Amino acid sequence: MNAIIFSAIMGVVMMFSGILLQKKSAVTTTAIVSLLLLLSMNLLDSYSVFSINVNTHGLLHFNKFGLFFNSILIAATLIFAVLCGSEIEKTGVNVADYYALIFFVLCGTSILTSFNGLLMLFLGIEIMSIPLYILTGAEKRNLKSNEASLKYFLMGAFSTGLLLMGIALIYGATGSFALKVSTTMAASAGVLSTSFLQIAGLILLFVSMCFKVSAAPFHFWTPDVYDGAPSVFTSFMATVVKAAGFFAFLNLFESNSAILGPSWKILLSFVIVATLLVGNITAVFQQSIKRMLAYSSISQAGFMLFALYSNNDMAKEGILLYAVAYCLATIGFFAILIKVKDYTFDGFNGLAKTQPVMAFTGVVFLMSLAGIPLTAGFFAKYYMLASVVKSGGSLWIVVVAVLFAAVSVYYYFKVIQSMYFKEGTPEVAAISPNFKTGLLLVAAAVILVGVLPSIVLNWFYF
Amino acid sequence: MSIIQILFSFLTVLALFGAIMVLVSKNPVHSVLWLITVFFAISGHYILLNAQFLAIVNLIVYAGAIMVLFLFVIMLMNLNAESEPRKHLWMKFAGVISGGCFLMVLVSLIRQTVELTGKTVLMKEGNIGLIKNLGKALFSDYVVPFELSSVLFLSAMVGAVVIGKKD
Amino acid sequence: MPIQYYIYFCLALFSIGIIGVLTRRNAIIVFMCIELMLNAVNLLLVAFSKMHYGAALAANPNTTAGIDGQLFVFFIMVVAAAEVSVGLAIIVMMYRNTHSVDINFLNRLKN
Amino acid sequence: MNKIVFLVPLFPLLGFLINGLGRKSLSKSAIGIIGSGVILLSFLTSCYLFSIVASAGEGQLQTVVTLFNFISVDAFTIPFAFQVDQLSVLFLLIITGIGFLIHLYSSAYMKEEETQHFGRYFAYLNLFVFSMLLLVMGANYVIMFIGWEGVGLCSYLLIGYWFKNNDFNYAAKKAFIMNRIGDLGFLLAVFWLLFKLGTVNYGDVFSQVASLSTFDIAAITTLLFIGAMGKSAQIPLYTWLPDAMAGPTPVSALIHAATMVTAGIYMIARSNILFTMAPTTQTLIAIIGLATAIFAATIALKQNDIKKVLAYSTVSQLGYMFLGLGVGSYTGAVFHVMTHAFFKALLFLGAGSVIHAMHHEQDIRKMGNLKKYMPITHITFLLACLAIAGIPPFSGFFSKDEILAAAFTKNPLYYYIGVGGALMTAFYMFRLYALTFLGKFRGTHDQEHHLHESPSAMTIPLIVLAVLSVFGGFIGIPEVFAENKNWLEHFLSPIFAESTKLVTTEHLSHSQEYMMMGIVTVLIAVVIFIAVSKFKKYAGEQEEVETGVGKLLENKWYIDELYNSIVVNPINAFAGFCKNFIEKSGIDGAVNGVGKLVSYSSRQLRLIQSGQVASYLLIMILSIVVFFIIWFNDITIMKFLNKLF
Amino acid sequence: MIALLLILTPLVAGFCSFAMKQGSTAKNFSLLVSIVTLAIALLAIGSPAGGSFDTAWLTDLGSRFTLKMDGMGKMLCLLTAVSYPLIFAAVYKSDYKNPGSFFGLMLLTQAGLMGVFLAADALLFYFFWELALIPVYFLCSLWGGEKRIAVTFKFFVYTFIGSLLMLVGILYVYFHTADHSFAMQSFYKAQLSDHQQSYMFWLFFVAFAIKMPIFPLHTWQPDAYEQAPTATTMVLSGVMVKMGVFAVFRWLLPIFPNAASSNSMIIIILSVTGMLYASLIAIKQDDIKRMIAYSSIAHIGLMCAAMFTNNKAAFDGVMIQMFNHGVNVIGLWIIADLIEKQLGTRKLSDLGGLAQKAPALAILLVIMALANVALPLTNAFIGEFLMFSGLFQYNMFIAAIAGISIILAAVYTLNMVQKVIYGNLNAVTENATDISFNVKLVLVIIALVIIVFGVFPQPMIDLTKTSVEALFVKK
């Protein structure tokens, strides 16, 4: 409960900090300190040292997995704030409000990592989404940002409608919004006699969750929104928010997938293949790196969906690792991207010459995203694939995934090619040494996790 | 045919008709008005179901506050019938077809749902929809989501300020 | 009243909302259609709530079964209100910049 | 004896190394002395070995000497071992003896070369002899194969010795590749032996022959024979040998007389037991041999290049040897190898002498009357011609007679055709002789002015070889002349003992044999007379335009062209097709096609991302519908998927 | 511990080298390091235990950092260790921009290669397999020829697809090991039905086949060889392709013995087709580098075919051929590079008469060429002889058809020799000079290796005897 309470409080604090503090950088500092506080609170909670307990009447359920996942998300936000804080300051005048909204998003993610019923799921998603609509439109004068915001909003609201219809149908079938009850009922009733109503509800739920994690064919908002949103917030959206969505997805279908019977795997494999296909193939032709990253985030989602597919312990560990790897690499790379004026591939030409540190760390991040061994991304993908193999059967989908992973190398390495093998003078914003250090640290973390993934996982079991 | 059935049928037809009119009205203001009609019809349904609290909230919040907000915005923008160019015909067609398909699929699913046969909705009676009971539940079992929805409003407020404020 | 009637009705309303979203170009109308969808869900939830209540009532006259459905509707309304405030703000912002609320013109971002 | 055996190949190897590495620092004479000296030492060692072998009684000879294990794997062990017995020691003498003479001759013949190239030349020659010695001395087929390929290499190097001339290089390459074709056959035979017997040591193979099936033996022998075809220039792999004339003349002598081409005969004689047990192969050998003998002889009739004539005569004579092998007269074949070595070396060295004198003019139409200027060359050349033509009592007579006699007992037809070939041999040899040495000189005045007898380093080998050509035949006197005086047959009998046991040879009656010899000799004499009288008068004023058969023969039956059009060109075309089409458009095209497909589908797929919210939502709704349909039909889909994967 | 040193030395040195700005420092340093590595490798081969290393790593996953040096590993480590000093010495006079990075990446590649040959843990193996690739990607893309970026990328993606498929296979086998471990021995004992084996077999094989490369997965190779900087090409063709061959021995045959034997015919036919096909194309090549590339494909094809014969002699042959082909082909590349650097052309038709200007080069080229055609008493003969003998026992007709490549090899190799060194000088070759001392030294060493191991191959055969023993499946 610590995280939910403190993130809400910090959000309010940030709102006021905007009034109290004159300098934008002071706001950022406040935010970073607040995040640190939030992180430590959450960690204290997860080790049961200090936790505020509120009787939630079974609506929220705090377990180690969720808390740890939440810590990862908060830590990712912290890294995000440290690396991109200066850019947030440049986005608009309401810096404090942006941070406040980020904290509210974190409140939403905290709910999503601990929800124990469809009501809290719904609330969590909404608390998470509504600030995001705003953040997407943060550049008010930028038509793209406006457009992205409106698109995101309309489609998000639409998917909320689907989600609610799903919830309603499930409620009709089970008479409860709890996750557990529906399973027990299903179990006692036996899979065969599962209500069609519930199945319809679950499918709608599935669809709206697919929408949230931008799985094809419900991914359409992703490229446009990621592209249109201010890059800083894209970075945040693509990592923290998406990871939280995945956690919710996983949590939601961990027990419910059985109800759908064999069609569950068919549906899921359909979605996975479609996601990998759309994400990877479409990314190939992109001219803008930012948009390419948007598509690549779709393809990464395809990989993360394997956790649902296999639905075992390994998948849980995997999704943790994936969240870490993906957040680190994406936040890192976006931090680099933001500094470059021109988001096209040509804009990166020759970056290695002018900004060796940025280029090198960029390579590390891209390799991690591509899943090259000894980067965190490898183990992330490894766990995903391994969990599917472990669950037995359906090796074909692993092979398909692997082939698409090879396609992904194409567009990730295209960036490397631009940076290292092509001549050019990229326009880069002023880089502070701290920023470089930060990048190097993140890159080091990527490699460290890549060499010893158990670092992350041992914390989990600790 | 009992009075409830008659009322039910009337409200249903009214709601559906209103909904369709929302769709087909060229003038946005008309759409809003038709939507308010729909909301009233739905509130009528709530009353039929003895969900008094929701009926009132629906009228006050939806029909009253939200739709007025809509109206204001539409007025503010000075939108009228001609301001919205027609959509491509095929897009309309596709929209209607796919919406219809969606409906058909779900309806056919419901028709096959065996355990719903014989289940009825308790009309008029039942006190769970009363404010007293709902309030009790809201402030005991559902206090956490209730409080959390304040975060939602807070963020919506911050958002509206951020978006709406002139730089 | 058989529950199917309510389900059919709500689904119909929901689908009309969907069709509206798909066919209208005015962002405000689209948004209104989404509200229509939400209302359909609301009514369905209340109907289900009463259905479960009716079923439980036979066994226990003091039951509160089904109350959660109505509370859920309450929360949906809350969220819808919040969404409307944000959504209309976004639409207004859009209108300020482009003087249009036509979603067909939202195509700077594509491919 | 053990250690001494190794000295034989070691000397040439040392010579190769010294000359090869020191070719820039050593003087020409030093190179010459080293080059020839090592062969002489080898020869002397061989003589010593010969004396041991000759004096050893039956069963006393410990023939196999192992140096080390060359390859030892689980399935088999191939020792680096030498076998010194009657057969190999005989060949050792031929190789080192004649080799030495040729080296000696070369040291004078090649005097004009730059020191560096002179050294290179001798290095190659030494290596050639070394390879040949390995081939002959090896105690198993693998060691033989080492030498087998080694001589191929050396011939390549020596034929292409004048590497500036690309025609020579082509000839060298051709020789190597043709040899390789044969080598493949040889190699396959070795694998077959390894497969079936697990050993390639002669002793083990020959003692286990009985365990091989008839098919195995037939296949192995055929493959071995294919190897021999390549090395010994039999139809259809003979075309490299005439082209090999591109090398310096002493090299031709070395290839044709002492080394390389005799390898095939040696190999078959060595494996005689295998061949004896494969009558089909033997027939094949006989037919191929005979065909080659005739075929090459016909071509030789019309050649005008002095070395070409000799080259085709070699091919033809090799054909006789194979005929001998094919009809089971192994001794006869070996005997002919030996006598042929004498007179063919003599002929080539003589030709070299002529060419040397004529300043590298090789066209016999531009020679004539050389007897006046080069008496020693003339006499020795004449003796060699008589020997090759088979005039008694010159050496060629005895050896050829032995083969023909054996052929007669096998099948008289062989004999008649063989005699026909012999007549042609006589004709073209004396055509050559007449055109070269008789008549009047047809060269330029400048050439005439410089005509001279060759230096003694060249003439001494000629004389020695002439003596051998004349008297060499007496070591294998047929029984008709002297009962049990055939020393060679006696000497080699341990080698062919097993084969002899297997087949009972009928002997011709003495009277029949006398008659045949007589008739043949007379016929040959007549042919010689005709040839000499016809070509003595040749003036060469007008170019004869050949027609019909003559043209066919002059162009060597267009065999090269035939090979080009049915083998070389199709392969080339196919290779081009592979390179330009299959590789580029086919395989690489497919690979790149996948890449293109990806980027194409990328271009298409991104169009779905139209930017229109409504179309996005439309697709979403349709997908939901699809999902429901999938759910309705999950069983069917599962079945389908299971079938698919 | 020695085994670990073999990886660590080049790894650490590689990172150090990045810091070196001065070209000569980097050169000398890396040459020195490579010689040190060679010394370590020789030490390792000399030590009877061979040197194993084992430490905990990724224990949660069932993987350990296990290095094992058996005969086969020794052979390939030796190859890697030998080739690097040769390569570095050969390119000693060449100038590279950013020499520190260049040599650093080269050394990192070496570390990766060593790792591949030493890893006794499947996951570790996979890591090194990929890690050997990454530096090469940069090497080729940064220092390569004109079309380097596209070509290298093709190469990279190609191999990456292969290795990912292998990863799937590794995972699958892992979950079928009794003790859920990636250790080699556990993999060998994995319980797989024939059906499973045949699927997994192909997943592994494709990875290895791409690396080797086997027809028709070979098209990345000529392009990559052509475009890569020659030093890298040498590593690629000399050592890296052996990764595939090695991996078949180490990971494919022992894990999937049944699948290997049931699929052997297909693979052997593919390999033999590839041999002939590549030889034919090599005949038509006018580009010396492409010719060597195709010739290499042909040679590897034979090795691949021999590996699936389940014949000890053939296995022996492959083992020593791995080493010998590596050394020989490096020699050929050095010469090709020399010609290109000095004369500015790789076209055979532009060359000629170099024997007059560069006799030492000519002699050495002839020796390399003879090794390329596997003439007896060169090292390549031993391997080819054994492999062919094994192939012959597997199937005579296939062996006979494969044998045609011996002839074709002679055709293209001699063609190259003739066009390069024989004939008359022309405008291009007129100003050629003979090879410099460092190159001569390297080539002489290679020539000595060719001849010495051609005459005394037994020590090499004995080195891998136990490995072969272990590989052989009794029917």
What ipTM was assigned to the predicted interfaces of this complex?
0.90
Within this chain, do residues D572 and D537 fall inside the same structural domain, yes or no?
no
Give the whole-angstrom CA distance, residue C75 versus residue B57. Answer: 11
Determine, yes or no, domain membership for A208: no
Determine, yes or no, domain membership for A393: yes
Q: Report the Cα–Cα distance between both ends of chain D, in Å, rounded.
A: 72
Q: How far is CA A170 from the centre of its chain?
A: 27
Determine, yes or no, domain membership for D548: no
**Would the pLDDT of E196 be above 50?**
yes
E457 touches chain D (CB under 8 A): yes
pLDDT score at D541: 55
By Cβ distance, the residue of C7, C10, C109 closest to A144 is C109
The β-bridge partners of D305 are D363
Residue position matching structure tokens 């991304």: A377
**Which of the four pLDDT bands, split at 50, 70 and 90, describes residue D503?**
confident
pLDDT score at B36: 92
Determine, yes or no, domain membership for D550: no
Mean of pLDDT values over D561-569: 84
Determine, yes or no, domain membership for D219: yes
D615 touches chain E (CB under 8 A): no
Residue A403 in contact with residue E161, Cβ under 8 Å? yes
Nearest in space to D387 (alpha carbons), one of D350, D440, D437: D350
Mean of pLDDT values over D211-229: 88
D618 and B109 within 8 Å at the Cβ level: the answer is no
**Which of the four pLDDT bands, split at 50, 70 and 90, describes residue E464?**
confident
Determine, yes or no, domain membership for D377: yes
Give the whole-angstrom CA distance, residue D554 versus residue D303. Answer: 6
**Residues of chain A contacting residue B158, judged by C-beta atoms under 8 Å apart:** 15, 97, 100-101, 104, 131, 134
Burial of residue D330, with CB atoms counted within 10 A of its CB: 0-12 exposed, 13-18 middle, 19 or more buried: buried
Residue D161 in contact with residue D248, Cβ under 8 Å? yes
CATH architecture of B1-80: Up-down Bundle (1.20)
B5 touches chain C (CB under 8 A): yes
Testing the interface with A: which of D600, D622, D631 to mutate, by most A Cβ within 10 A? D631
Interface of D with B in 611-640 (CB under 8 A): 614-615, 618, 621-622, 624-625, 628-629
Within this chain, do residues D504 and D584 fall inside the same structural domain, yes or no?
no
By Cβ distance, the residue of E388, E423, E461 closest to D71 is E461
What's the gap in Å between the CA of B97 and the closest CA on chain D? Answer: 10
Helical residues (DSSP H) of A277-312, grouped into ranges: 282-284, 289-310
Rg (chain A; Cα; Å) = 21
B19 and C17 within 8 Å at the Cβ level: the answer is yes
Helix, coil or strand: residue D305: strand
Determine, yes or no, domain membership for A241: no
**Would the pLDDT of C38 be above 50?**
yes
Number of domains into which chain A is organized: 1
**Residues of chain C contacting residue A287, judged by C-beta atoms under 8 Å apart:** none
Nearest in space to D493 (alpha carbons), one of D331, D267, D335: D331
Within this chain, do residues D421 and D515 fall inside the same structural domain, yes or no?
yes
D579 and E281 within 8 Å at the Cβ level: the answer is yes
- Calculate the average pLDDT of chain D: 84
**Residues of chain C contacting residue A181, judged by C-beta atoms under 8 Å apart:** none
Tell me which residues of chain C have a C-beta less than 8 Å from any C-beta of chain A: 3, 7, 10, 14, 17, 21, 27, 30-31, 34, 37-38, 40-41, 44-45, 48-49, 51-52, 55, 65-66, 68-69, 71-72, 75-76, 79, 82-83, 86-87, 90-91, 93-94, 97-98, 103, 106, 108-110
Residue E58 in contact with residue E127, Cβ under 8 Å? no
Ramachandran angles phi, psi of A340, nearest 5°:
-90, 135
pLDDT score at C36: 92
Give the whole-angstrom CA distance, residue A6 versus residue B129. Answer: 34
Number of domains into which chain D is organized: 4
**Residues of chain C contacting residue B149, judged by C-beta atoms under 8 Å apart:** 75, 78-79, 82
By Cβ distance, the residue of A372, A385, A392 closest to E168 is A385
pLDDT score at B21: 92
B102 and D615 within 8 Å at the Cβ level: the answer is no
Residue position matching structure tokens 């399935």: D75
Which of D228, D248, D277 finishes a domain?
D277
D611 and C107 within 8 Å at the Cβ level: the answer is yes
Rg (chain D; Cα; Å) = 31
Give the whole-angstrom CA distance, residue C92 versus residue B89. Answer: 28
**Residues of chain B contacting residue D628, judged by C-beta atoms under 8 Å apart:** 105-106, 109
C111 and D609 within 8 Å at the Cβ level: the answer is yes
Determine, yes or no, domain membership for D549: no
By Cβ distance, the residue of B116, B158, B163 closest to A197 is B116
B94 and D618 within 8 Å at the Cβ level: the answer is yes
Testing the interface with C: which of A133, A140, A153, A287 to mutate, by most C Cβ within 10 A? A153
**Residues of chain E contacting residue A454, judged by C-beta atoms under 8 Å apart:** 58-60
B109 touches chain A (CB under 8 A): yes
- List C-alpha distances in Å: C110 to A342, D608, E103: 18, 9, 45
Testing the interface with A: which of B158, B163, B167 to mutate, by most A Cβ within 10 A? B158
> Which residues, 6 or more positions from A96, have their beta carbon under 8 angstroms from its beta carbon?
A14, A15, A16, A17, A18, A19, A21, A27
pLDDT score at A241: 92
Percent of chain C at pLDDT > 70 equals 100
Q: What is the DSSP letter of B85?
A: P
Give the whole-angstrom CA distance, residue C26 versus residue A145. Answer: 19
- Chains in contact with chain D (at least 3 beta-carbon pairs closer than 8 A): A, B, C, E
Within 10 angstroms of residue E385's Cβ, the number of other Cβ atoms is 24
Mean of pLDDT values over D423-443: 84
Give the whole-angstrom CA distance, residue A344 versus residue A287. Answer: 6
What's the gap in Å between the CA of C108 and the closest CA on chain B? Answer: 18
Domain enclosing residue D624, as ranges: 614-645
Give the whole-angstrom CA distance, residue A367 versus residue A362. Answer: 8
Give the whole-angstrom CA distance, residue B161 versus residue E446. Answer: 78
Residue position matching structure tokens 């940064």: E142
Which tokens hold the place of D535?
């070509």
Ramachandran angles phi, psi of C2, nearest 5°:
-65, 145
C75 and A147 within 8 Å at the Cβ level: the answer is no
**Residues of chain D contacting residue A194, judged by C-beta atoms under 8 Å apart:** none
B148 and A100 within 8 Å at the Cβ level: the answer is no
**Would the pLDDT of C44 be above 90?**
yes
**Residues of chain C contacting residue D617, judged by C-beta atoms under 8 Å apart:** 18, 21-22
E219 and D583 within 8 Å at the Cβ level: the answer is yes
**Residues of chain A contacting residue B106, judged by C-beta atoms under 8 Å apart:** 200
- Calculate the average pLDDT of chain B: 86
Kindly list the structural domains of chain C, giving each domain's residue range(s) and its CATH number in brackets, ordered by start: 3-110 (1.10.287.3510)
Q: Whole-model pTM? A: 0.90
Ramachandran angles phi, psi of E54, nearest 5°:
-150, 125
Ramachandran angles phi, psi of D83, nearest 5°:
-120, 120
Which tokens hold the place of E45?
């081969």
**Which of the four pLDDT bands, split at 50, 70 and 90, describes residue D645?**
low
Within this chain, do residues D252 and D298 fall inside the same structural domain, yes or no?
no
Residue-by-residue DSSP string for D331-379: HHHHHHHHHHHHHHHHHHHHHHHHHHHTTS--BGGG---GGGT-HHHHH
Secondary structure element (H or E) that encloses residue E294, with its range: helix E288-307
Testing the interface with A: which of D606, D635, D638 to mutate, by most A Cβ within 10 A? D606
Chain B, nearest residue to C70 by Cα: B129
pLDDT score at D543: 57
Helix, coil or strand: residue E390: helix
Angle at CA of residue E53, ends E47 and E58, nearest 5°: 170
B155 touches chain A (CB under 8 A): yes
pLDDT tens digits, E89-106: 888 888 888 888 888 899
Q: Which of D372-376, D445-449, E166-170 has the lowest mean pLDDT?
A: D445-449
pLDDT score at D486: 76
Q: Is the dihedral of CA E249, E251, E254, E259 positive or negative?
A: negative
pLDDT score at D276: 86
Mean of pLDDT values over E55-84: 86
**Residues of chain C contacting residue B19, judged by C-beta atoms under 8 Å apart:** 13, 16-17, 20, 36
Testing the interface with E: which of D13, D71, D216, D572 to mutate, by most E Cβ within 10 A? D71
**Residues of chain A contacting residue B116, judged by C-beta atoms under 8 Å apart:** 195, 197
Angle at CA of residue A282, ends A281 and A286, nearest 5°: 125
By Cβ distance, the residue of A203, A218, A284 closest to D599 is A284
Which tokens hold the place of E108?
């990192």
**Residues of chain D contacting residue A206, judged by C-beta atoms under 8 Å apart:** 627
What's the gap in Å between the CA of C33 and the closest CA on chain B? Answer: 8
Within this chain, do residues D146 and D2 fall inside the same structural domain, yes or no?
yes
pLDDT tens digits, E25-58: 888 888 899 999 999 888 888 877 667 788 888 8
pLDDT score at A187: 47
Each of the 462 residues of chain A gets a pLDDT tens digit; together they read 888 999 999 999 998 888 888 888 889 999 999 999 999 999 888 888 888 888 888 888 888 888 999 999 999 999 999 998 888 888 888 888 899 999 999 999 999 998 888 999 999 999 999 999 999 988 888 888 999 999 999 999 999 999 999 999 988 888 888 876 554 454 444 444 467 888 888 889 999 999 999 998 899 999 999 999 999 999 999 999 999 999 999 888 887 777 777 778 888 888 999 999 999 999 988 889 999 999 999 999 999 999 988 888 888 888 989 999 999 999 999 999 988 888 888 888 888 888 888 999 999 999 999 988 889 999 899 988 888 888 876 788 888 998 998 889 888 988 888 888 888 888 888 888 889 999 999 999 999 998 888 888 877 776
What's the gap in Å between the CA of D585 and the closest CA on chain A? Answer: 22
Determine, yes or no, domain membership for A105: no
pLDDT tens digits, B140-154: 888 999 989 999 999
Give the whole-angstrom CA distance, residue E339 versus residue E362. Answer: 11
E164 and A395 within 8 Å at the Cβ level: the answer is no
**Would the pLDDT of D212 be above 50?**
yes
